[in-house]
Structure 1
């Protein structure tokens, strides 16, 4: 589904990612783990086209290198970004409609109603300004909005960031449900234990390099990995 080869990512003159390879098979959840500054979000930015990059990125065999940001989303990429970035002054319903901006079919309203049913708390607040939602509700809105484009692959950037432990559990229950439903997911996360629990495969990044990868079962509960990364700064 998603194949990345020799990816280097740049922020101005700084090379943040140093030639990594990464693959996400269709219908699987891949977790990209590592400390702050490791290059995880930079990798997502290269996939969406918001960062300058070299190397190859292919989605379902299609080379994304020559595509602009909008065309990459039309090709099947969608992202729930770090920090949620909802449209605070718009209603929940209006935020969800924004997620379908690249679609041209007539099923958008039906899809929105489906997601409002799946997220009852959002359904109850459909006309409420999104900026008045709790952090967990905003995260669920962000994920639902990303799914409204009917993506081939969903990119999740630090979905647990700033959330209480109970809410983190609800968010990762949702991610597990999406994986079971066959959604292809690339998950960037610092909460290694929660990410490993929902992932099929894990990549670890440190200082812009992939230092380890393998099936999620090889990483146990993630405690050993966190010990390994303690004191590592990217």
Structure 2
């Protein structure tokens, strides 16, 4: 099977500080891969490296194209969606206007159908459709950026802590969306602290420690204790 994403020997820096030290990871179409590890292990930096938001080296092949030197807008056009943990909404635009920005140009009349379908699935956003995004709660903003990314029908969605601050009903809706994307042939790289939720969604898990992948295997074999053990092994302790 041809990989949708294949990263090899990816290194990344913030200024002079190197955070990633040769990350290898493969994701196939239809897969939801959980990326976990301790805070500071490099998970979010790897997500940013895939999206072209930090200085990086190595090989990143996405949808058959080498993107390691591509700017973020080109990567997005190829079909990679990225949802940061910082809840990056357009604060002075309404919820509905934010969602429209996620739809690919040329959608025409189908844009309205996409918006209506999103509001049907996430009624808490529908109730705030004309509210400025900056006035939403943190959890509502988190939901908005995720749904906005899904508006573009990404081939791969890289999503960093999508359920942070969400009520249980919203968490369930997010899980359904991620599962649905994979069922339609897309893929998800999920960075998530809630292991019980993530393991219900992911068949495969990669553990990052000290800027490297230290474990890559079946999700059901890991819990918080074994994750820490793999991180310790990866650091040579």
TM-score (normalizing by structure 2): 0.87
Deviations 1:152-187 (A, max 9, x none): 111101113344566545533443344344431001
Query: SS of the residue aligned with 1:145?
Result: helix
Name which of structure 1's ranges 210-219 and 172-181 shifts more when overlaid on structure 2. 172-181
Equivalent residue for 1:69, pick from 72, 80, 84: 72
Partner of 2:194: 191
Kept after mapping to 1: 8 A contact 2:28/2:187 = yes
Equivalent residue for 1:143, pick from 134, 146, 166: 146
Q: Which runs of 4+ in 1 moved over 6 A?
A: 229-232
Q: CA deviation at 1:63?
A: 0.9
Kept after mapping to 2: 8 A contact 1:78/1:155 = yes
Name which of structure 1's ranges 185-194 and 17-26 shifts more when overlaid on structure 2. 185-194
Q: How many residues align?
A: 230
Kept after mapping to 2: 8 A contact 1:103/1:149 = no
Partner of 1:49: 52
Q: CA deviation at 1:231?
A: 9.3
Equivalent residue for 1:175, pick from 166, 178, 183: 178
- In structure 1, distance between residues paired with 2:165 and 2:146: 15
Kept after mapping to 2: 8 A contact 1:57/1:64 = yes
Q: CA deviation at 1:226?
A: 5.2
Partner of 2:117: 114
Q: CA RMSD in A?
A: 2.4
- In structure 2, distance between residues paired with 1:89 and 1:231: 45
Report the CA distance shift for 1:85/1:42 in structure 2 as closer, same or farther (over 3 A).
Answer: same
Equivalent residue for 2:63, pick from 60, 64, 72: 60
Q: Does 1:208 align with 2:206?
A: no
Query: SS of the residue aligned with 1:154?
Result: strand
Deviations 1:54-76 (A, max 9, x none): 11111121111232111110011
Kept after mapping to 1: 8 A contact 2:208/2:231 = no
Partner of 2:105: 103
Equivalent residue for 2:17, pick from 14, 25, 29: 14
